[in-house]
Structure 1
């Protein structure tokens, strides 16, 4: 029940992960057994809602992996339910201000650190009461990453870095570019400047960063200080393999 992903990140390791978009427990097992020991279950853009996404944690863990949940929103009820149902690592989208980040942090931690609602003895997070000191340890086991994906939040990066309970700022480059009217133009100088500015501020104020693999590969992102890099997703892996297989038969049809 300990959060291995949080420990790895906080120890300075750059952890690589893959997205789980299709919502299939079989696909989750295949991906973990194929070497992706951290999967991010996407309940924002993926095929499953929060409840089915939380059930996928079982498949990931049973295969020997660790699961992170991208919740669909930052509402208190959403975050509380995700944590109670056994999500230890959360990726929270569209956190566009320090005030919003402060609320997210509070929703995810028990008092006195936060205001998470208490039901520890009866929830999956505590093994339905088997982890008897869960409430005493939960604040140290939860891992919360807030997505930095709007130009409006850039002036608040230093303030977010100082918020207890925020473990990572996760840059969403395409949404960030879109908020600057440069969607899918990640090499635009203004977008590059915005991202490098976030990196510099985060480094200066001790905010751990994560992002997606894309314009820069895993090695370059690790050297730039990123400690979580999410790469491929099951949709693209399947469609890419299907296209490649179809191309191999092109001489026969």
Structure 2
């Protein structure tokens, strides 16, 4: 039960939530077995359907962790099906107003009338409108985590949501993310955001507890490392053959 995630967050500790980036039950299990507290299944932008969600949630639980899913919308039946397929919580996108947030809480209560307290309810603050309405959104009862989404927030500020490898988001976006995390924490609430290895320490200091990370960098970093380690040997081999 995701009550363990709630307890961890309530204690002030961080929770690592990793997106496998692939529809793979075995990868979901490997990530939680390796120590990720939860996997993240993206049904808004990703390829996973309800059947894959169910299989990956079982695999993550077998590995000792949990599953948080981002539904494709705030539609009640969609969120209900995600939870009924075994997700331990939902991270609902595009929550711009307090009314949106209240609708999310009502939907999860409807979907899980007997075990609502065991589900992690996360709303995404990912637009300038949401930031403007943040004080009212933070007053909504029943939300466990307020997640600042830098990609869509960038787009709502007029920037590209994508970041090239090795690059950083515009400073105005980074400053607004930091400021929003601080507002959430000062209100006594739990904050979360997307992290990369280079900025995780800073974002934790800024107030993030739920840390969302993509699995693909593990793979690309490992390949890059091995290529770098093998390069001297390859160079020596070329000199010998010459």
Matched, 1:22 2:18: no
In structure 2, C-alpha distance between the alignment counterparts of 1:239 and 1:214, rounded to whole Å = 13
Residue 237 (structure 1) aligned to one of 183, 195, 218: 218
1:238 Cα deviation after fit: 3.1
Name 1:4's counterpart in structure 2.
4
Aligned residue-pair number: 229
Deviations 1:189-248 (A, max 9, x none): 432342233223323322311001138633322222211111232x34334444555664
- Point out where structure 1 has 5 or more consecutive residues left out of the alignment: 110-115, 121-134
Give TM-score, length-normalised by structure 1.
Answer: 0.79
1:161 Cα deviation after fit: 0.9
SS in 2 for 1:13: coil
1:219–1:245: structure 2 CA closer, same or farther, 3 Å change rule?
closer
Larger Rg: 2
The answer to whether the 8 Å contact 2:178/2:203 transfers is: no
Deviations 1:3-43 (A, max 9, x none): 21122112211112211220111111222233323211222
Report 1:122-141 matches (<5 A): 135=114, 138-141=115-118
Name 2:173's counterpart in structure 1.
191
Give TM-score, length-normalised by structure 2.
Answer: 0.83
- Point out where structure 2 has 5 or more consecutive residues left out of the alignment: none
Matched, 1:73 2:73: yes
In structure 2, C-alpha distance between the alignment counterparts of 1:45 and 1:69, rounded to whole Å = 11
1:15–1:87: structure 2 CA closer, same or farther, 3 Å change rule?
same
